[in-house]
Structure 1
Amino acid sequence: MNLRLYALNLLFVVLAFATVAQEKPFSTFYYQRASLFEKLPVDSTDIIFLGNSITNGAEWNELFPDKHVKNRGISGDRTTGLYDRLNAILPGQPKKIFLLIGINDLQHGASVDSVVHGIIRIAERVKTESPNTTLFIQSILPVNDQFGKFPNHTNKGPEIIEINKHIKRYCLENKLTFIDLYKYFKNKDDEKMNPEYTNDGLHLMGDGYLIWIKVVQDYIETKKERR
């Protein structure tokens, strides 16, 4: 009888942990940073850089001083996590959003179609809930496997190219601005990220962020919506 009771208690504990795991699909860092963003205001003068670790890694307010630029990147974020935290952004009706997301979805085994759907889902929500926000969808950056790091990210070169192609088409069809960062970061002779801009094949060094700034400068400074 005691053994049966022990087994039942153990089963309840296992089920409880499984439920918690299901309810917390993202990293502890995700929830730490997302909870901070929920406390920070967003208003109609703000320009939001929204994405994963590649966005998270920049000091956007220093790279664009006096432009109301705010960093809303979270390392490891995916399209589903980013979609969920739009709740802390869209009510403020920001002036502009620069979106870059998708590589971590691939690392977790998502298909090209799934990533494209996730990005479009985010874009459609922005258009619906914050119609005065100018949305800029940035291409996923190239990767480079020569560093031997992040192998489940840096082996996704062909998938990245396909996603960028589909998202560019979506933007053209829906009169949104697609910013092709990819071409500025790839090698001249192949599709790998230029090692001058990275030290792990995935994330950017300082020079990489300066390239990014040059590419998006006009979109920050003006109301230009198409290139």
Structure 2
Amino acid sequence: MKRIALLIAFVSVVCAATSQTPAYDTTFRPNNYALKVEQFKSYPHSTSDIVFLGNSITANVEWRELLDMPNIKNRGISGDISFGVLERLDEVINGKPAKVFVLIGINDISRNIPDEMIVANYRKIISRIRQGSPETKIYFHTLLPVNNEFTQFKNHYNKDEHIAFLNSSLQAIAKETNITLIDLHPILMDANGKLDKKYTIDGLHINAEGYKKWAAVLKGSGVLK
């Protein structure tokens, strides 16, 4: 009876530990993922291209018009995660672009993908671009803050610790790999550490003023030259 009791206790502990570990799925792809990838592959490529790579925050603006640069290519897919970026990265690499600007990770966080796994994917993105297109300059953006005073994207709010961890990791990766890091997080943040309401429509995505602020950062830093 004592052995049975110990076994039951052990199983209970294991079950409890398992139930506390959020489930995650690295194979998730947005509904329009395949269509967008095929479209990207069908477009012309040039070694003068400047590629903006990421999720909806990248996809939601016309970068060519915002920055008045016809050689910019938008490779954002709404809802994408870092695993999705890795899966479609060859399309970017094969074009041998002049520059790649990456912003990815907030959807990974919302889907409970472990922080360390996301960081590993950042390193893989950098490594693969460097192996496949050594002349391409690589730029990463830090993750933007979010604002939980909105209600539309509850899985993305209240994840400040995860955002801070990834941004800190990106700082370290940038130093180790000699890529350029563009720190957007504090620029779009209010006094309470949240995404400033004047820059957002829903506490996650940014509005026209947010993109103008982002564009000003890029232009002011000289990274587009």
TM-score range, shorter chain: 0.7 to 0.9
- Could you list the runs of 4 or more consecutive aligned residues of structure 1 that deviate by over 3 angstroms after TM superposition? 218-221
How big is each residue's C-alpha offset from its partner over 1:126-182, in whole Å with a ceiling of 9 and x where there is no partner?
111111000001101000110112111112111101100011111111111111010
Superposition pairs of residues 132-143 of structure 1, within 5 angstroms: 132-143=135-146
Asked if 1:34 corresponds to 2:37, the answer is yes
Match of 2:183 among 156, 172, 180: 180
2:130 aligned partner, one-letter code: K
Matched with 1:204 is: 206
Describe the shift of the 1:121–1:73 C-alpha distance in structure 2 as closer, same or farther (beyond 3 A): same
Matched with 1:191 is: 193
Alpha-carbon separation, structure 2, partners of 1:152 and 1:92:
35
Asked if 1:97 corresponds to 2:89, the answer is no
Alpha-carbon separation, structure 2, partners of 1:213 and 1:34:
25
Match of 1:87 among 86, 90, 96: 90
Deviation at 1:221, TM superposition (A): 3.5
Deviation at 1:88, TM superposition (A): 1.0
Unaligned 5+ runs, structure 2: 1-24
| 3-state DSSP of counterpart to 2:100 | strand
Preserved CA contact (<8 Å) 1:51 1:99: yes
Decide which moves more: 121-130 or 93-102.
121-130
1:114 aligned partner, one-letter code: M
Preserved CA contact (<8 Å) 2:30 2:78: no
Instruction: Report the aligned-residue RMSD.
Output: 1.6
Structure in which a larger fraction of residues adopt helix: 1
Decide which moves more: 60-69 or 48-57.
60-69
Q: TM-score, normalised by structure 2?
A: 0.85
Asked if 1:65 corresponds to 2:68, the answer is yes
Preserved CA contact (<8 Å) 1:77 1:104: yes
1:212 aligned partner, one-letter code: W
Matched with 1:216 is: 218
How big is each residue's C-alpha offset from its partner over 1:196-221, in whole Å with a ceiling of 9 and x where there is no partner?
00121000100000000011114443
| 3-state DSSP of counterpart to 1:146 | coil
Alpha-carbon separation, structure 2, partners of 1:34 and 1:221:
25
Identity over aligned residues, as a percent? 36
Match of 2:59 among 56, 61, 65: 56
| 3-state DSSP of counterpart to 1:28 | coil
Q: How many residues align?
A: 200
Preserved CA contact (<8 Å) 1:47 1:67: no
Matched with 1:110 is: 113
Alpha-carbon separation, structure 2, partners of 1:66 and 1:149:
33
Preserved CA contact (<8 Å) 2:143 2:185: yes
Alpha-carbon separation, structure 2, partners of 1:114 and 1:175:
21
Deviation at 1:42, TM superposition (A): 2.0
Decide which moves more: 212-221 or 79-88.
212-221
Matched with 1:3 is: none
Deviation at 1:67, TM superposition (A): 4.4
1:120 aligned partner, one-letter code: R
Preserved CA contact (<8 Å) 1:98 1:137: yes
Preserved CA contact (<8 Å) 1:50 1:71: yes
Superposition pairs of residues 92-171 of structure 1, within 5 angstroms: 92-171=95-174
